[in-house]
């Protein structure tokens, strides 16, 4: 037997934030909030920790810089040393541009890959039927029944009380 989810549909971001605060105060588990635009303060209201994505970007950028500088040094001073105008083989100022570009490349690709992996976003995933307007103007709050002493209708009533214009139930498998 699956647990039930209650999905409340909101038109206003302020009403959605009020509903999230009310759910957290009453100990109701919030599964997800779906919004077509960023809602200021939603992370704090849901109790979501800050993202670790900047650390992925920093590590990937440092890796790209290190690999870029190492490869250029290896290629120009060790593997294929060519005397060009009496300049030294390991001239760091000549390596700065490629090192910078490798930093940006590695950091950008790693950030996008980590974001897609963490968010479980895939091009082949389809939107569930009934959620089409969430990409335009609707906001959804999805809460889960977790208590065995649950009284039917309390979650729906709470969502409607805070401005949900539609509430429907789904069974989670």
53: Cβ–Cβ under 8 A, 6 or more apart, which residues? 111, 114, 115, 118
Smallest Cα–Cα separation from 145: which of 116, 121, 169, 162? 169
Could you tell me which of 33, 1, 31 has the C-alpha nearest to residue 17? Answer: 33
Report the predicted TM-score, pTM, of the whole model to 2 decimal places: 0.67
Interval 118-147: pLDDT, tens: 887 777 776 566 665 666 678 888 888 776
CA terminus-to-terminus distance, the chain: 8
pLDDT at res. 160: 82
How far is residue 104 CA from its own chain's centroid?
Answer: 20
> Could you say which of 3.30.70.120, 3.40.50.1100, 3.40.50.300, 3.40.50.12780 is the CATH number of the domain covering 4-36+137-171?
3.30.70.120
């Amino acid at each position: 037997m699956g647990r039930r989810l209650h999905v409340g549909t909101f038109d206003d971001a302020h009403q959605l934030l009020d509903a999230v605060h009310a759910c957290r105060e009453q100990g109701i588990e919030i599964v997800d909030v779906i919004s077509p635009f960023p809602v200021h303060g939603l992370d704090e209201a849901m109790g979501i920790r800050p993202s670790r994505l900047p650390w992925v970007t920093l590590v990937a950028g440092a890796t790209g810089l290190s690999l870029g500088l190492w490869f250029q040094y290896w290629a120009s001073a060790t593997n294929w040393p060519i005397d060009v105008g009496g300049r030294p083989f390991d001239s760091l100022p000549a390596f700065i541009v490629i090192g910078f570009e490798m930093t940006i490349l590695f950091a950008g690709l790693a950030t996008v890959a980590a974001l897609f992996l963490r968010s479980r976003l895939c091009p082949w995933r389809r939107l569930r039927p009934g959620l089409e307007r969430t990409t335009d103007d609707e906001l959804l709050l999805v809460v889960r029944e977790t208590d065995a002493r649950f009284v039917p209708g309390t979650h729906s009533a709470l969502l409607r009380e805070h401005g949900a214009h539609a509430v429907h139930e789904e069974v989670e498998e």
